[in-house]
């Protein structure tokens, strides 16, 4: 492990006014999204879509890194150039999703543990040779009055710790993603309580596995009301609760917090990020985004697998990246979205 390399990569990923594109959907997940829009899903169509995003002119001004899926990091464009090299040529850091998904957790009904540790050391070596300089592992926690159980939290925290240690051994920056799901009728207070417990356990596991905190990034959920909760918290309440939780449980030496969108609409994820960034409370780590659908949805709905829509789809992606980059700096204005009328809103779109 070379600490200086890890720290440099982590800092570059959270450079001022930049965030991360999460383009790491599995082939199965992306196929479902394609099918909803009647787009044929083949390795070639999935490559074409990813290449559309990766080659959008001007996007490197707002995107520091891209998380890829195994299929994508092995693909080449029509000229035979690896997609990871296309990113590197633009100054965008290639990354890779390395977990193999959440599976039922034995003895914990309704809960999951993320798998993929078997053979991970060798896979990380391969991915680094293919250009990856950071990797992501996602654990998910379902919220009810009694869930998540401590067994679920402990099992996933342990896996995140082992993942992070193996990454750093190979000079790959780990992005640790413990996601408290927004699905459910829980209050914002319950979300905060669960997230605090999860973060506490995760950082204990990272310490136990001798993970260099200066050479990692945290990808957490924002503190939100459950999607079916009758009382939806305002943007200011979300921002305040999120920062209080992070300040209490995320060590100051962590270089950056890269929020997931977690099922929020594209516009709402931008608005929440903007309010969090605007709050004057001192933040010891950089705040930015690592969004998937919240960056891609409009672009995908514009493209529809039609080559004639290639440029408009890139414009939609560029626009969303630009809006989120502005939000990182606390400079987003809703009028920035006025010409993109197709963007969605959600039940969380309440005034601050």
Which residues are the active-site residues? Answer: 177, 219
Q: What are the C-alpha distances in Å from 271 to residues 17, 64, 73, 74? A: 15, 20, 31, 35
16: number of Cβ within 10 Å: 10
Distance from C-alpha of 310 to C-alpha of 304, rounded to nearest angstrom: 9
In whole angstroms, what is the distance from residue 175 CA to residue 195 CA?
Answer: 17
Strand partners for 137: 176
> Sign of torsion, CA 53 54 58 62?
positive
Closest CA to 139 of 186, 188, 105, 173: 105
Half-sphere exposure in the Cβ direction for 206 (13 Å, CA): 27
- The answer to whether residues 153 and 203 touch, using CB atoms and an 8 Å cutoff, is no
How far apart (Å, rounded) are the C-alpha atoms in residues 280 and 302?
Answer: 37
Quick one: how far is CA 333 from the chain centroid? 23
Give every CB contact of residue 79 below 8 A, 6+ residues apart in sequence. Answer: none
Q: Give the bridge partners for 256, in sequence order.
A: 286
Q: How far apart are CA 324 and CA 16, in angstroms?
A: 12
| DSSP 8-state class, residue 346 | -
103-118 burial string, b = 16+ CB within 10 Å, else e?
eebeebeebbbbebbe
């Amino acid at each position: 492990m070379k600490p200086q390399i890890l720290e440099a990569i982590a800092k570059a990923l959270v450079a001022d006014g930049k965030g991360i594109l999460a383009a790491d959907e599995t082939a199965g997940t992306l196929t479902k999204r394609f099918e909803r829009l009647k787009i044929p899903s083949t390795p070639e169509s999935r490559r074409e879509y990813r290449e559309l995003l990766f080659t959008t002119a001007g996007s490197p001004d707002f995107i520091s890194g891209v998380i890829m899926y195994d299929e994508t990091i092995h693909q080449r464009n029509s000229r035979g150039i690896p997609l990871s090299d296309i990113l590197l040529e633009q100054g965008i850091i290639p990354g890779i999703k390395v977990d193999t998904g959440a599976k039922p957790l034995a003895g914990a009904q309704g809960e999951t543990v993320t798998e993929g540790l078997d053979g991970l050391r060798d896979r990380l070596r391969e991915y680094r040779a293919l250009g990856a300089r950071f990797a992501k592992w996602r654990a998910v926690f379902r919220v009810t009055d009694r869930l998540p159980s401590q067994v679920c939290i402990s099992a996933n925290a342990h896996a995140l710790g082992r993942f992070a240690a193996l990454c750093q051994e190979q000079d790959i920056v780990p992005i640790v993603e413990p996601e408290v799901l927004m699905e459910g009728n829980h209050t914002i207070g319950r979300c905060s309580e669960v997230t605090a417990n999860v973060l506490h356990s995760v950082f204990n596991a990272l310490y136990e596995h001798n993970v260099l905190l200066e050479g990692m990034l945290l990808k957490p959920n924002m503190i939100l009301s459950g999607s079916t909760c009758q009382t939806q918290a305002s943007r200011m309440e979300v921002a305040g609760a999120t920062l209080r939780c992070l300040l209490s449980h995320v060590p100051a030496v962590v270089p950056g917090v890269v929020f997931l969108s977690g099922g929020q609409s594209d516009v709402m994820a931008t608005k929440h990020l903007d309010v969090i960034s605007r709050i004057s409370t001192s933040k010891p780590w950089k705040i930015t985004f690592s969004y998937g659908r919240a960056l891609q949805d409009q672009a995908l709905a514009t493209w529809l697998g039609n080559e004639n829509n290639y440029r408009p789809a890139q414009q939609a992606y560029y626009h969303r990246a630009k809006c989120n980059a502005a939000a990182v700096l606390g400079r987003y204005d809703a009028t920035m979205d006025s010409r993109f009328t197709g963007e969605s809103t959600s039940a969380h779109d309440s005034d601050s």
